[in-house]
Amino acid sequence: MIQLVKKINLIFLSLTIIFFTEQITQTNHLWAQEELIVQPARRDITLTGYTRSQTTLTLSSEVAGKVLKINYDVGQVIDKSPFVKIDPTFIDLEISGTRQNLENLKITRKKRLSRATYLDKEFQRIDKLFRRGSSPESKLDSSREDLDQARFDVQAVEGEIAILRTHLSNLRERKKRHTIFAPRGWVVVAKLVEENELVTVNTPVARVADYEHLVVPLSVSAEELAAIQKLSPEFEVLLDGEPAKAAVNWVNPEFDEKTRKLNIELILRSYPGAKRGGLVCRLALQTATEGLWVPKRAVISRYENPRVFLKESGAGVKVLVLGQTEDHFIIADNPRLPPGTLLQAKSALSPDLQQEPAR
């Protein structure tokens, strides 16, 4: 039984070795088929910014009075209730007085309309008598004058009624200003008055912000902006370490001569977690830089003298290494290695070129 188990383990180990050998062979084959190309150098950078609300609004009083009630505190989300209510006692009294004056004018208008109607009938009778020669012209003229004056009185009352109606509309609109509303769904970030406090016109009472839409302001160089504009309309960012989607909200074309940068703003389209300011947002980019990229698998370094070999001619070209990434060396510009040049893999070179001589 023990021998059988040993044989099974031996067979399993042999199959595992064969599998990994085939995998390595396939990988080497793919690497051999992959084109090794000189590319313009790029560097990896990460832009970091912090979230803030897209819009912040200051609520101010348009009237003077005493604060009766405040329905929200800092951090609360605005619902259908108004944010603050200011005492409307005096405006209510003025509205009541104006309504009473309006009713009095309506009564006066009825009286004057009644008198004008009577004088019109009186004028019609005198006019008929005058046509028959039974009434003097002076009486006709006097009747006509009384009728005209009565009609003018009616027009005057109509004008006064129109003025009072406009004033009443004005008062009603001013009364609306005693109740201050904020946009629903926004969050109170500062409460600037308290209940029973007296406020005047233009007194700020609170600040509210729209945290349903978060934005991230950034200051970027021209190269960084170009890299961002090459991204898709919505691109990946990390928000407090979690993946999220963002887009460019606006780009300020004004150039800052001190920092030599442009101000832009990103808007987050979808994001996890809390909706608040101060969340760390990171955007990973690749920007153009000086030099060239060559694959590490194409670089031979003997006596600390790095070279690459052209695929077309097999000629060797010395290179000056400036830095490196995970898969590439960054080398200085070389007229013999324009971007797009195909290189030979060092695995395809002779063994004496691949090895570093012993010293």
pLDDT at 356: 46
Locus of tokens 């979230």 = 51
Query: Looking at domain 46-54+211-285, does it have CATH number 3.20.20.70?
Result: no
CA–CA separation, 92 and 218 (whole Å): 51
pLDDT band at 234 (very low <50, low <70, confident <90, very high): very high
Helix (H) or strand (E) holding 249, with range, is strand 242-256
Read off the tokens for 153. Answer: 């009185």
92 vs 24, higher pLDDT: 92
CA–CA separation, 355 and 131 (whole Å): 138
Helix (H) or strand (E) holding 13, with range, is helix 2-33
Query: Looking at domain 60-87+178-209, does it have CATH number 2.40.50.100?
Result: yes
Helix (H) or strand (E) holding 291, with range, is strand 280-295
CB 172 within 8 A of CB 65: no
Domain ranges of the chain: 46-54+211-285, 60-87+178-209, 88-176
* pLDDT per position as a tens digit, 17-70: 444 444 433 433 333 346 788 888 888 889 999 999 999 999 999 999 999 999
CB 57 within 8 A of CB 208: yes
CATH number listed for the domain at residues 88-176: 1.10.287
Helix, strand or coil, per DSSP, at residue 227: helix
CB 98 within 8 A of CB 136: no
* pLDDT per position as a tens digit, 96-143: 999 999 999 999 999 999 999 999 999 899 888 888 888 888 888 898
